[in-house]
Structure formats: C-alpha cells, structure tokens
Amino acid sequence: MIEYDKLYIGGGWTSPAGSGTIPVHSATSEEQVGVVPEGCKADIDAAVAAARKAFDDPAGWSRWEPARRAEVLERFAVALEKRSEEIQRRVSVQNGMPIWLAQQFEGPFPPLLLRYYGGLVRDVAHEEVRPGMLGGNSVVIREPVGVVAAIVPWNVPQAITFLKLAPALAAGCTVVLKPAPETVLDALLMSEAAFDAGLPDGVLNVVPGGRELGAYLVSHPQVDKVSFTGSTAAGRAIGEPADDCSGRSPSNSAGSRPRSCSTTPTCSRRSRASSRRPC
C-alpha cells in the first residue's frame, strides 16, 4: 500500500484543504494499492497562487537565463532516472500498461524530453530579426506565456505529462498539473523527484482530481495557458470555461489574462508591432 497525505504545492508538501481521498486500485487484481489526497478548489487556488507568484517574481524562474533553467531541468532528469523503475512499476500497476511498454515510454521519455528542451532553449536566441516580406525588418521576441494549467490522461501518464512540462518549464513558464485520478501514484513520485532536484518554489505544483477539478483549474483567472490531453467529453467540459483556444482575453471575466490552449506550451512569439501574443 502506497499512501500520501500531502500535496506538492509551492515547492513543498502541504496538507490538503479538504478531506477527500482518491483510492488507487490494481488494474489486474482490482485490489487497493494506494491512496492519495483528492484536491479541491481551495488546493487549486493555492497552487495557482504559488505558480503566479513564482512566475511574477522579478528575479524568479521566468527571468532566469535559459542555461540556468536547463541546469535545473538536468537535475530533474537525473532525479527521475533514479526513480525510473518504480515509476514504470506504478504506471503498470495502475493502468495495466505492459511493463515492457512502460520501460520504453514511462521511464526514459521524461528525462529525454527535459534534456531536449533544456538544450533547445539554450541554443535559441531571445530576440531574432527577420526580413519583412515587403521590406523592413521584424523583431521576434520569445517570452514565457505565464502560468500553465496542464491536464493529462491516464493511458500514458508520464510521457504525456512531460510533453507538457518540459517545454513549458524550459521556456520559463510555471505549471499547475492535474493528473488523472486513475494514475496518481506516479505523479506524486514525479513530484518527489522535482523536490529533490530543487525546482524553485511554485514552479511546479501537482493537484490530483477529477473532471470537475480540471474544469475549475482551466477557468481560473490567473491561468494564462491550458494544455489538455484527454477524452472528447472532458475536453468539452474544460473547453467551455476556458472560452476557446484562440488566445483572446475572455470578455465575461473581469481581470482575466489572455489565455490559449495547446498540447505543448512553450513560449509566445510576438512582433513589436503587435500587441497580441499568439503561440
């Protein structure tokens, strides 16, 4: 039995605001193999606030040199590799994935993605001057979008998690991750790796829960970008409160920030001649 009684929020392990729990069962024997706290709206509020604070810090993660962020991502990759075998086992137990498949995707893929995107941001210039089609020049500036809400499914949980986390963190975004309730034990083990790697407080926050919690997360006014992978029904449920994926500021939510949706949140690219921030 694997038991957690705290959530990973703000760079540490914090007691949940509610008393709900998520029981975890073996996909083969149907026996209970673990239990974790079930996040509630107050936990999402705390996680988003921590991510917002970390992103807005004038000396924080979003303002670091890319090479410095890449160093932290390398430590994260090493910490995950130390836990690779247990991550693979937990995923297989929870969702029934064959262990040989978990060994190919759930163990090695997350460190690979962290190293790839860490290297990518080191080599890409912050500003780029491009010749205009009709003359003159355009200046393209790459900036982190802000706070990212990342929602992942149960079928390939760690690989899909890092398809979202790796580019977002490398670009300087901060993240609130909501794993699927069916695969939470691997998500909290990943959180242990993040803690050991020394990710700055609030850069990554993990709050397990169901579809309703995901809908609340994506509707949060302090979330700038949504990255979702899941069923059509769940996509509709979270797509409505997020308004749409056009990147526009919701007109019915006072004080909202511009938001957009994608599967790989990285950074915004904008021309100095434009006030919009498409991704």
Pairing of strands 267-271, 137-144: antiparallel
Say how far apart CA 189 and CA 83 lie, in whole Å: 8
Is 276 within the bounds of a domain? no
Is 60 within the bounds of a domain? yes
pLDDT value of position 237: 67
Is 188 within the bounds of a domain? yes
Q: How many domains does the chain have?
A: 1
Is 2 within the bounds of a domain? no
Q: What is the CATH number of the domain that holds 105?
A: 3.40.605.10
Position 241 confidence tier, pLDDT thresholds 50, 70, 90: low
First and final C-alpha spacing in the chain: 43
What is the share, in percent, of the chain residues with pLDDT greater than 70?
84
Domain membership of residue 33 as a residue range: 10-248+259-271
pLDDT value of position 238: 65
Please identify which residue in the block is written with the tokens 């904008």.
Answer: 270
- How far from 265 is each of 29, 51, 74, 275, CA to CA, in Å? 37, 15, 19, 19
34-58 per-position pLDDT tens digit: 999 999 999 999 999 999 999 999 9
Average pLDDT over residues 8-25: 96
Is 279 within the bounds of a domain? no
β-sheet with 21-25: strand ranges across = 2-3, 32-37, 21-25
Decide which of 163 and 242 is more confident.
163
Strands (DSSP E) contained in 181-252 are: 204-206, 225-228
What phi-psi label fits residue 63: left (phi over 0), alpha (psi between -120 and 50 degrees) or beta?
alpha
Indicate whether 270 pLDDT > 50.
Answer: no
Strand partners of residue 141? 127, 270
pLDDT value of position 265: 43
Say how far apart CA 207 and CA 204 lie, in whole Å: 10
pTM: 0.84
Is 4 within the bounds of a domain? no
pLDDT, the chain, mean: 86
Asked if 226 and 260 count as a contact pair (C-beta separation under 8 A), the reply is: yes
218-236 per-position pLDDT tens digit: 999 999 999 999 878 777 7
Helix (H, G, I), strand (E, B) or coil at 132: coil
Is 5 within the bounds of a domain? no
What's the sign of the alpha-carbon dihedral 229, 208, 44, 158? negative
Structure tokens, 17:
């605001």
Position 243 confidence tier, pLDDT thresholds 50, 70, 90: low
Q: What angle do CA 266, 108, 64 make, to 5 degrees?
A: 35
Is 194 within the bounds of a domain? yes
Position 242 confidence tier, pLDDT thresholds 50, 70, 90: low
Average pLDDT over residues 50-67: 96
CB-based contacts of 235: which residues, under 8 Å, 6+ apart? Answer: 228
Indicate whether 177 pLDDT > 90.
Answer: yes
Asked if 2 and 34 count as a contact pair (C-beta separation under 8 A), the reply is: yes
